[in-house]
Amino acid sequence: MVATCEDETNTETCVDSDGDGWSVDCNDCNDADPTVNPGAAEICNGADDNCNGTIDEVLMPMQMVLQSAAEIVMMQMQRLILQPQKLC
Ligand SMILES: [Ca+2]
Ligand SMILES: [Ca+2]
Ligand SMILES: [Ca+2]
């Protein structure tokens, strides 16, 4: 199967093994799994589904929100803990 990749200049080497429409030359980072290609949606599975080099990046915004929220709580707790010591 020939990949329908954006780069039409290298169709000779565009061999799509898993038949998802993307070849290794067209940034298919796993040409043995049709669910993994640059056009795939990133899902939480511990793998880089959309071949952008980042695993499960869809979860990052929520992780960042939780992390920043945790940091704010920590800062406030530290302030509460440290303030009496400063006053002494
Ligand atoms: Ca492929
Ligand atoms: Ca990814
Ligand atoms: Ca994933």
pLDDT surpassing 90 at residue 19: yes
63, 48 contact by CB (below 8 A) = no
Residue 45's pLDDT is what?
A: 92
| Residue 37, phi then psi, degrees to nearest 5 | -165, 165
Structure tokens at 15: 């061999």
Q: How far is the CA of 1 from the centre of ligand 2 (A)?
A: 25
Distance CA 56, CA 15 (A): 27
What pTM was computed for the model? Answer: 0.56
Q: How far is the CA of 44 from the centre of ligand 3 (A)?
A: 5
| Residue 78, phi then psi, degrees to nearest 5 | -60, -40
Distances (CA, A) of 64 to 68, 71, 85: 6, 10, 31
Q: How far is the CA of 76 from the centre of ligand 3 (A)?
A: 35
Q: How far is the CA of 36 from the centre of ligand 1 (A)?
A: 8
Residue 76's pLDDT is what?
A: 92
Encode pLDDT of 25-79 as tens digits: 889 999 999 999 999 999 889 999 999 999 988 766 677 788 888 999 999 998 8
